[in-house]
């Protein structure tokens, strides 16, 4: 912490020589924002304005594209389905992983290292490899086009990372804290629930951010396992929407903007959580 | 460690093990089994290595393997840009937090949204070419998506565009936790920016760089389906078909699950060295970084 504040103090001794840095960074920032600006500007144009000039400013402003997009796409249904998938799988994944990570980090049993290593190895299994057999398995079990079936897939796919992150975190909790509670006769389950979980709030925050973002943005599984219109997630929904409005780019961009809004709002509000969560998840390795 | 009855830990891990066995364990065994069968529905007669032969004889498969390999070029590009930009930000330029927020923003956008939006920006008469013409670079205005020659490069650009924010923020976070005395000493000794980068910062970042390379390569090989699918659907022709897209097409579109399983098994085998690498870089990185939150 002190190193950071020290550096900050030095940073205030303004260096005038960093103009080239600003030039590079402004250029990078413009590139990073470009597609979002394109979405926004195009969404506010009429089709005629867009066809005449893709670059020009959207003037006079036209908001009818948003109305058309909401009318032409089932955004609220898609949002609801994505929300159900995300909440459901994050809860299942986190609970199952927390229990097991606690055992791996705080108990001693045969196979615990193997279990952790296995979870790390599974981090890089491509989901597409599981696609064909999972589909056959799910057809047999009648789980295709069901919320619970797909929630289980997402929970399973995110579980290895959850175990990995939580085990690392639980291991870092000081020994003495748990020993004294144990001496007072607390059970493991109470330790986990009343001491370890509250102490691990930052780790859970990280986990929720990483896993929720992954599930929310996932396309392949949703495409294959939730083909019915009433069950489509937002990511599958927008590919349908694209097919419907492939010739009316402004309406299409209005739709893409609508689809981005939930995450963009969350990012603006909780930017720190996103940045810290996503990087600490990786650096903890 | 606290002593408990021996079955207690297994009870704690039972839900997770059941979940992982159901989603990874059984399907992984099954995919290898499928790859040796003429699959109809949920099984079929054993046909040895025919599925593998059919795949290898399929020119589209060979193209897909080549395209996946080519896309690995994403890794050095990502690494270079994200290290350089993170070092620029670490130099404490005014407003570095704002830059960081803006540069990270693409990573928040969903891949399918990015893919669809980019598929309109990169059309022949799209905004990218209009912009290039406006600034006098008409010669660079190519058919980014419609041409077999350029489409894969366009996929690469889009992947880099979205993924680079993560790398920048990752390296910056690592730099912010390091001891900056060596860097300060180098600065006082009059080392140039490049000298400081090369001799002080890069050695310092080595563990994180190794870790990032493994993660980025995995992303390209194993988690890039949505980029390709929303941007080009593997086309034009099969110009951007990767192994992931090939497996999806073969299994779900052409209904050849056995052949798709054979390619999936090969992709899995390709990923195994990455597992070893991941363990290796993890050990090195944790020895070096300690814990960083």
Considering only A96-100, A192-196, A255-259, B255-259, which range has the smallest mean pLDDT?
Answer: A192-196
Task: Measure CA B51 to chain center.
Answer: 27
- Across the interface, of B13, B26, B252, the residue whose CB is closest to A224 is B252
- Across the interface, of A15, A129, A235, the residue whose CB is closest to B264 is A129
Q: Which three-class secondary structure state does DSSP give residue B77?
A: helix
Nearest to B180 by CA among B163, B207, B204, B158: B204
- Across the interface, of B16, B120, B222, the residue whose CB is closest to A124 is B222
A24 touches chain B (CB under 8 A): yes
The confidence score (pLDDT) of residue B3 equals: 59
User: Which positions in chain A touch B6 (Cβ < 8 Å)?
Assistant: 109
Nearest to A67 by CA among A43, A50, A48: A43
| CA B245 – CA A128 distance, rounded (Å) | 9
Mean pLDDT of B230-235: 92
pLDDT tens-digit readout, B158-215: 999 999 999 999 999 888 887 778 888 888 888 888 888 888 889 888 888 998 999 9
A160 touches chain B (CB under 8 A): yes
The confidence score (pLDDT) of residue B285 equals: 65
The confidence score (pLDDT) of residue A282 equals: 66
Tokens representing A216 are 């929310």
| CA A81 – CA A77 distance, rounded (Å) | 6
Residue B273, pLDDT above cutoff 60: yes
Q: What pLDDT band is residue B41 in, cutting at 50, 70 and 90?
A: confident
- Across the interface, of B108, B265, B285, the residue whose CB is closest to A263 is B108
The confidence score (pLDDT) of residue A283 equals: 62
Mean pLDDT of A128-142: 94
Mean pLDDT of B219-248: 94
Q: How many other C-beta atoms are found inside a 10 Å radius of the C-beta of residue A68?
A: 17
CA distance A284 to chain B (A): 6
Cβ–Cβ below 8 Å for A132 and B257 = yes
Mean pLDDT of B15-30: 96
Which residue has 């001491």 as its token pair? A195
Q: Which residues contact B142 (CB under 8 A, 6 or more apart)?
A: B129, B150
Mean pLDDT of A28-52: 90
Mean pLDDT of A254-282: 83
The confidence score (pLDDT) of residue A281 equals: 63
CA distance A228 to chain B (A): 16
Q: What pLDDT band is residue A139 in, cutting at 50, 70 and 90?
A: very high
Which residue has 């981005």 as its token pair? A260
In a domain, B7, yes or no: no
**Peptide linkage before A159 cis (omega within 30 of 0):** no
More confident residue, B155 or A46: B155
Considering only A103-112, A216-225, B9-18, B240-249, which range has the smallest mean pLDDT?
Answer: A103-112
Residue B290, pLDDT above cutoff 60: no
Q: What pLDDT band is residue A2 in, cutting at 50, 70 and 90?
A: very low
Contact pairs from chain A to chain B, CB under 8 Å: 323
Considering only A1-15, A43-57, A204-218, B232-246, which range has the smallest mean pLDDT?
Answer: A1-15
Considering only A12-16, A246-250, B109-113, which range has the smallest mean pLDDT?
Answer: A12-16
Question: How big is the CA angle at A263 (ends B151 and B173), to the nearest 5 degrees?
Answer: 85
Q: What SS3 string covers chain A?
A: CHHHHHHHHHHHCCCCCCHHHHHHHHHHHHHHHHHHHHHHHHHCCCHHHHHHCCCCCCCCCCCHHHHHHHHHCCHHHHHHHHHHHHHHHHHHHHHHHHHHHHHHHHCCCCCHHHHHHHHHHHCCCCHHHHHHHHHHHHHHHCCCCCHHHHHHHHHHHHHHHHHHHHHHHHHCCCHHHHHHHHHCCCCHHHHHHHHHHHHCHHHHHHHHHHHHHHHHHCCHHHHHHCCCHHHCCHHHHHHHHHHHCCCCHHHHHHHHHHHHHHHHHHHHHCHHHHHHHHHHHHHCC
Percent of chain A past pLDDT 90, that is, above it, reads 56
B13 touches chain A (CB under 8 A): yes
Q: What pLDDT band is residue B104 in, cutting at 50, 70 and 90?
A: very high
More confident residue, A106 or B152: B152
Cα-flanking dihedrals φ and ψ of residue A95, to 5°? Answer: -65, -50
How many angstroms separate the Cα of B221 from the Cα of each of B57, B71, B75, B77?
22, 8, 11, 15
Cβ–Cβ below 8 Å for B230 and A239 = yes
The confidence score (pLDDT) of residue B159 equals: 97
Contact A283, B208 (CB under 8 A): yes
The confidence score (pLDDT) of residue A59 equals: 79
In a domain, B112, yes or no: yes
Q: What is the CATH number of the domain that holds B114?
A: 1.10.3720.10
Task: State the maximum Cα–Cα separation within chain A, in Å, rounded to a whole number.
Answer: 77
B150 touches chain A (CB under 8 A): no
| CA A191 – CA A177 distance, rounded (Å) | 10
Q: What pLDDT band is residue A206 in, cutting at 50, 70 and 90?
A: confident
Residue A59: which region, alpha, beta or left (left: phi > 0; alpha: psi -120 to 50)?
Answer: beta
- Across the interface, of B92, B130, B244, the residue whose CB is closest to A54 is B130
B34-73 residues touching A, CB cutoff 8 A: 34, 39, 41-43
Tokens representing B37 are 């069968």
Q: What pLDDT band is residue B83 in, cutting at 50, 70 and 90?
A: very high
Mean pLDDT of chain B: 89
Cβ–Cβ below 8 Å for B180 and A7 = yes
Residue B124, pLDDT above cutoff 50: yes
DSSP B241: -
Q: In chain A, what are the domain boundaries?
A: 15-62, 72-283
The confidence score (pLDDT) of residue A53 equals: 83
A91 touches chain B (CB under 8 A): no
Q: Which residues contact B79 (CB under 8 A, 6 or more apart)?
A: B167, B209, B212, B213, B216
| CA B236 – CA B225 distance, rounded (Å) | 16
CA distance A195 to chain B (A): 15
Contact B152, B224 (CB under 8 A): no
Residue A163, pLDDT above cutoff 70: yes
Q: What pLDDT band is residue A1 in, cutting at 50, 70 and 90?
A: very low
DSSP B281: H
User: Which positions in chain A touch B209 (Cβ < 8 Å)?
Assistant: none
Considering only A107-111, B114-118, B135-139, which range has the smallest mean pLDDT?
Answer: B135-139
The confidence score (pLDDT) of residue B288 equals: 55
User: Which positions in chain A touch B221 (Cβ < 8 Å)?
Assistant: 126
Q: What pLDDT band is residue B282 in, cutting at 50, 70 and 90?
A: confident
The confidence score (pLDDT) of residue A285 equals: 40
Mean pLDDT of chain A: 87
| CA A272 – CA A59 distance, rounded (Å) | 35
Cβ–Cβ below 8 Å for B27 and A238 = no
Q: Which residues contact B278 (CB under 8 A, 6 or more apart)?
A: A120, A121, A123, A124, B214, B218
Q: Which residues contact B265 (CB under 8 A, 6 or more apart)?
A: A129, B31, B32, B35
The confidence score (pLDDT) of residue A75 equals: 93
The confidence score (pLDDT) of residue B46 equals: 87
In a domain, B188, yes or no: yes
In a domain, B223, yes or no: yes
| CA B249 – CA B228 distance, rounded (Å) | 12
Cβ–Cβ below 8 Å for B13 and A157 = no
Residue A11, pLDDT above cutoff 70: no
A22 touches chain B (CB under 8 A): yes
Task: Tally the domains of chain B.
Answer: 1
Q: What pLDDT band is residue A178 in, cutting at 50, 70 and 90?
A: confident
Residue A122, pLDDT above cutoff 50: yes
Cβ–Cβ below 8 Å for A28 and B271 = no
**Superfamily covering domain A72-283:** MetI-like (1.10.3720.10)
In a domain, B31, yes or no: no
- Across the interface, of A130, A238, A275, the residue whose CB is closest to B169 is A275
The ipTM of this complex is 0.90
Considering only A167-181, A209-223, B118-132, which range has the smallest mean pLDDT?
Answer: A167-181
Residues spanned by the domain of B122: 52-288
């Amino acid at each position: 912490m002190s190193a950071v504040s020290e550096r900050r103090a030095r940073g205030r001794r303004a260096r005038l020589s960093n103009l080239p840095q600003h030039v590079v960074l402004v250029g990078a920032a413009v590139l990073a924002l470009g597609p979002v600006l394109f979405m926004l500007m195009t969404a506010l144009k009429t089709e005629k304005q867009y066809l005449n000039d893709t670059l020009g400013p959207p003037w006079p402003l036209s908001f009818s594209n948003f109305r058309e997009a909401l009318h032409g796409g089932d955004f609220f249904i898609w949002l609801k389905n994505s929300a159900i998938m995300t909440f459901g799988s994050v809860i299942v994944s986190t609970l199952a992983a927390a229990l097991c990570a606690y055992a791996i980090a705080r108990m001693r049993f045969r196979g615990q290292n193997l279990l952790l290593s296995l979870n790390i190895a599974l981090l890089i299994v491509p989901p597409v490899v599981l696609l064909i057999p999972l589909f056959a398995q799910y057809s047999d079990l009648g789980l295709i086009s069901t919320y619970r079936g797909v929630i289980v897939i997402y929970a399973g796919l995110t579980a290895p990372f959850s175990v990995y992150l939580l085990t690392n975190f639980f291991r870092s909790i000081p020994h003495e804290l748990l020993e004294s509670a144990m001496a007072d006769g607390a059970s493991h389950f109470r330790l986990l629930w009343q001491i370890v979980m509250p102490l691990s709030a930052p780790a859970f925050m990280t986990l929720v951010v990483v896993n929720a973002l992954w599930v929310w943005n996932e396309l392949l599984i949703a495409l294959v396992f939730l083909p019915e219109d009433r069950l489509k997630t937002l990511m599958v929904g927008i590919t349908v929407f694209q097919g419907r409005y492939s010739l009316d780019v402004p309406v299409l961009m209005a739709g893409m903007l609508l689809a981005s809004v939930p995450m963009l709002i969350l990012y603006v509000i909780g930017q720190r959580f996103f940045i810290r969560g996503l990087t600490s998840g990786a650096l903890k390795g | 460690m606290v002593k408990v009855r021996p079955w207690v830990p297994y009870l704690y891990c039972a839900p997770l093990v059941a979940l992982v066995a159901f989603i990874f364990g059984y399907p992984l065994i099954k995919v290898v089994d499928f790859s040796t069968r003429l699959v109809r529905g949920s099984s079929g007669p054993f046909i040895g290595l025919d599925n593998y032969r059919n795949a290898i004889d399929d020119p589209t498969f060979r193209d897909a393997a080549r395209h996946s390999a080519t896309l690995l070029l994403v890794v050095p590009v990502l690494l270079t840009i994200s290290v350089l930009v993170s070092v620029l930000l670490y130099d404490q330029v005014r407003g570095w937090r704002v830059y960081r927020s803006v540069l990270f923003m693409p990573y928040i956008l969903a891949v399918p949204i990015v893919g669809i939006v980019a598929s309109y920006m990169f059309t022949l008469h799209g905004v990218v070419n209009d912009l290039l013409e406006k600034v006098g670079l008409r010669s660079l205005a190519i058919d980014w998506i419609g041409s077999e020659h350029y489409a894969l490069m366009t996929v690469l650009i889009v992947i880099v565009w979205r993924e680079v924010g993560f790398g920048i923020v990752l390296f910056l976070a690592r730099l912010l936790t390091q001891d900056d005395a060596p860097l300060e000493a180098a600065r006082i000794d009059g080392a140039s920016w490049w000298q400081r980068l090369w001799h002080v910062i890069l050695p310092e970042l080595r563990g994180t760089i190794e870790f990032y390379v493994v993660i980025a390569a995995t992303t390209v090989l194993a988690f890039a389906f949505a980029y390709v699918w929303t941007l080009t659907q593997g086309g034009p022709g099969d110009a951007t078909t990767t192994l992931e897209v090939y497996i999806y097409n073969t299994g779900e579109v052409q209904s050849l699950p056995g052949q798709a399983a054979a390619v999936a098994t090969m992709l899995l085998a390709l990923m195994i060295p990455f597992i070893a690498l991941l363990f290796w870089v993890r050990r090195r990185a944790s020895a070096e970084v300690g814990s960083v939150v």
